[in-house]
Amino acid sequence: MKRTLLLVILIVGFVALSLSTAIYAGDKVSDVIKMENAAYDKHEKSIVEFTHKKHIEDYKIGCGECHHDANGKPLNDLKAGDNVSGCIECHKIASKAPREPKLSEKEQLQYHAEAIHQNCIDCHKKFKKETGNKEVPTSCAKCHIK
Ligand code: HEC
Ligand code: HEC
Ligand code: HEC
Ligand code: HEC
């Protein structure tokens, strides 16, 4: 009896563990990633199609601009074929931060959508300012296309 219980606990623990980890295998990376994280019960906004390959090859952005380690240190040496952790691994709350109350920068970053937005939008804004390019998306509807 005790043994069965132990086994059940082990299995439940293992399932919980595999659900809570989002390590993506590097050999299966899609050219365009559908940003539809399963941690969300429901997406409020339309699903963004992120041109991962284009960002790397055409826009010449280094891996470390977007991927970093558990201390937030850029993974500049990442290369094609390496496994990566999903953003949700560390930016764990599957929503946008609530408008009120005002959160600190660190608290904001616990929210998945805030971390993603900061990464994508900050670079786009900078790019827009530096090059005058108006196509690079900085507003909601340009990424969350209806
Ligand atoms: C402009 C930002 C950006 C750059 C540059 C970038 N990535 Fe990513 N990458 C992402 C995002 C965002 C995801 C999706 C993560 C998630 O959904 O949690 C991702 C996912 C991945 C995945 C998982 C594949 C999948 O289909 O889910 C791998 C592997 C990966 N990146 C490797 C790399 C490597 C290697 C480089 C450099 C050669 C790189 N990335 C450059 C933002 C970037
Ligand atoms: C292994 C854990 C881990 C993963 C995976 C991770 N982050 Fe982070 N991230 C951190 C830590 C730690 C910090 C620093 C937080 C702080 O300073 O309080 C950070 C900081 C950030 C910041 C603010 C500082 C900066 O670099 O601009 C952004 C934006 C961000 N992460 C976006 C992302 C995105 C997008 C992904 C997925 C492509 C991701 N993170 C994946 C742990 C992680
Ligand atoms: C470090 C800079 C940087 C980061 C980070 C970044 N981008 Fe971009 N993005 C660019 C540049 C540069 C362009 C291309 C502008 C041009 O040449 O038209 C672009 C273009 C785009 C476009 C329009 C063209 C296309 O390829 O679809 C979309 C949509 C887009 N990015 C989504 C995202 C999303 C979503 C993220 C975050 C997961 C992200 N970007 C992160 C630099 C960045
Ligand atoms: C540069 C592209 C980009 C822009 C601009 C952008 N988003 Fe997002 N947003 C994303 C990505 C990528 C995700 C992550 C979705 C995922 O991984 O499931 C996201 C996630 C979200 C989420 C959480 C998921 C959901 O659908 O409920 C909300 C809410 C959201 N965005 C609202 C907004 C609003 C409001 C604006 C304008 C103020 C905005 N976004 C601008 C790319 C963008």
* pTM flag (> 0.85): yes
For residue 36, what are the contacts with CB-CB under 8 A and spacing of at least 6? 43, 47
| Average pLDDT over the chain, rounded to an integer | 89
Q: Is residue 99 part of a domain?
A: yes
Rounded Cα–Cα distance for residues 43 and 20 (Å): 19
Handedness of CA 144, 85, 136, 57 (dihedral sign): negative
Q: Tell me the two tokens of residue 61.
A: 């952005």
144 lines ligand 4 (CB under 6 A): yes
Q: Is residue 133 part of a domain?
A: yes
Spell out the per-residue pLDDT of the chain, length 146, in tens: 456 555 555 554 454 444 456 778 887 889 999 999 999 999 999 999 999 999 999 999 999 999 999 999 999 999 989 999 999 999 999 999 999 889 999 999 999 999 999 999 999 999 999 999 999 999 999 999 98
Contact 89, 110 (CB under 8 A): no
Q: Is residue 27 part of a domain?
A: no
- Separation of CA 132 and ligand 2 centre (Å): 28
Q: Is residue 51 part of a domain?
A: yes
Beta strand 23-24 with 33-35 is unpaired
56 Cα nearest atom in ligand 1? 5
The position carrying tokens 């290369």 is 79
CB-CB neighbours of 3 under 10 Å: 7
73 lines ligand 2 (CB under 6 A): no
Q: Is residue 16 part of a domain?
A: no
Rounded Cα–Cα distance for residues 40 and 46 (Å): 13
Q: Is residue 108 part of a domain?
A: yes
Contacts 24+ apart (CB under 8 A), 125-133: none
120 Cα nearest atom in ligand 4? 1
Q: Whose CA is nearest to atom 40 of ligand 4?
A: 140
**CA angle at 70 for the pair 68 and 74, rounded to the nearest 5°:** 20
Number of domains the chain is built from: 1
113 lines ligand 2 (CB under 6 A): no
* Owning domain of residue 113: 35-143
Interval 96-128: pLDDT, tens: 999 988 999 999 999 999 999 999 999 999 999
Q: Is residue 109 part of a domain?
A: yes
